[in-house]
Amino acid sequence: MNILGLFRRQIQVARVSGIPVRIDYRWFLVFALSAWVIAVSFREGTTMTQFVRLEAGAAWAAGVLTTFALFLSIFGHELSHALLARAEGIESDEIVLHPFGGLTRLRREPDNPRAEFRIAIAGPSASFMIGLLSFAGFYVSQLAGWDALGAGLTIIGFWNFIIAASNLLPGYPLDGGRVLRAFLWKRTGQLEDATRVAGRGGQLIGGALGVFGVWFYWRAGDPFMGLWLVVVGLFLFDAARSVTRRRGQLRTAGDAMTAAVAVEPDSTVGHFVDHVLTLHRQEAFAVARAGRLHGILTLKDLKALPRERWHQTRVREVMRPVSEELFVPPTAPLARAERLLNENGAGALAVVDDAGQLVGLLLRGRIKRREKVRA
């Protein structure tokens, strides 16, 4: 059963910092349901709304505005992921708001555990800060006598703290699973193993939520909340199982490689910067002529070359010449390839077939599947 397949119908509603923002069409149903629940709360004066009682029209207005603010804060959570990813040199394909919250699709994996940690923790940090600001606004509203505004801010603050805490659970695709993966990646140096452990953690959490949903329905007699917990649990379980299965299918360098962007060894650095680097934002490139590998060109090495020399210097003068630690055959075990990526200092590995032809490239942190989902 592919639960993720339920969330493919989307509409684009905005573009923020160049990133498309889309909404799953089922989101509108959840928005309406949330607005109704909050409106009833304002009508009846529950504990969450600080015993504020509003007339029907005002209660509905408060429900809609509070729900909009809640989803806007979820967008802020996702945007923080995207902006921190951009700071690490990773662009985002889109931000999607769906019935269970939101997600950010990154174009590739982070390059190192530090980047993975920073991007992962950005979302919960943003939610926590929104929660603090909401409660600060609540106290100001109380002093000013704006009870309805204070009640709405209480709801927003409470749910942002819940979002921050629940996202820190240690399982994929939650942010806590990304933090766990960053820790394991740094400790072991094995991205694949770290991803597998985080994915299994997500499966355990998803399964536990499903079981808890059934128990909640049985003990509390609340079919809505029980069903909601079960569906969220299935969503998490399916997402975690998918990434675990996908990573398990990558066994060799040939499985994980991407198409190589080759640079001519006799082209100038200026030509490379103007015509290649502007189209392909990556940290290293294969240098080849007629399919034969000559070396690896890294942006790290280019930084030492003064800009005024770019149009006089050939790529072959600044590239790393071919050596055993810079290439592997397609049949090389992925574990060996990842070890070389972490040790060769270039952060890149050419994949060369038995005939000596360049057939692909591996970049540290970019293992074939470029679409990365962050909840």
Instruction: Of 55-59, 127-131, 143-147, give the range with the top mean pLDDT.
Output: 127-131
Give the mean pLDDT of 302-309. Answer: 90
In order, the DSSP letters of 126-190 are HHHHHHHHHHHHHHHHHHHT-HHHHHHHHHHHHHHHHHHHHHTSSSTTSHHHHHHHHHHHHHHS-
Which has the minimum average pLDDT: 39-53, 90-104, 187-201, 214-228?
A: 39-53
- Quote the pLDDT of residue 293: 93
- pLDDT tops 60 at residue 124: yes
- Quote the pLDDT of residue 3: 41
Tell me whether residue 9 is exposed, middle or buried, using C-beta atoms within 10 angstroms of its C-beta: 0 to 12, 13 to 18, 19 or more. exposed
- Quote the pLDDT of residue 56: 83
Q: Reduced to 3 states, what is the DSSP secondary structure of residue 314?
A: strand
Q: Is the pTM of this model over 0.85?
A: no
Distance, in Å, from the CA atom of 174 to the CA atom of 86, rounded to the nearest integer, reads 20
Place of tokens 């810079």: 326
CATH number assigned to the domain with residue range 254-363, chosen from the 4 options 3.60.21.10, 3.10.580.10, 3.30.1330.10, 3.10.150.10: 3.10.580.10
Give the mean pLDDT of 300-322. Answer: 91
Task: Give residue-wise pLDDT tens across range 164-176.
Answer: 998 898 988 789 9
- pLDDT tops 60 at residue 44: yes
Domain with CATH 3.10.580.10 in the chain: 254-363
- pLDDT tops 60 at residue 233: yes
CB 148 within 8 A of CB 63: no
Taken in order 291, 294, 296, 299, the sign of the CA dihedral is negative
More confident: 156 or 336? 156
Q: Reduced to 3 states, what is the DSSP secondary structure of residue 236?
A: helix
Which has the minimum average pLDDT: 19-28, 185-194, 283-292?
A: 185-194
Task: Give residue-wise pLDDT tens across range 314-360.
Answer: 999 999 998 888 999 988 887 788 888 888 888 889 999 888 899 98
CB 353 within 8 A of CB 99: no
Give the mean pLDDT of 16-28. Answer: 88
Sheet of 348-352, strand order:
327-328, 348-352, 358-363
CB 263 within 8 A of CB 298: no
Mean pLDDT score across all residues of the chain: 83
Give the mean pLDDT of 209-228. Answer: 76
Task: Give residue-wise pLDDT tens across range 235-260.
Answer: 788 877 776 665 555 567 777 788 78
Task: Give residue-wise pLDDT tens across range 45-97.
Answer: 655 555 667 788 888 998 899 999 999 999 999 999 999 999 988 888 889 88
Which has the minimum average pLDDT: 226-230, 272-276, 354-358?
A: 226-230
- Quote the pLDDT of residue 247: 57
More confident: 303 or 366? 303
- Quote the pLDDT of residue 224: 61
Closest CA to 122 of 91, 162, 86, 151: 86
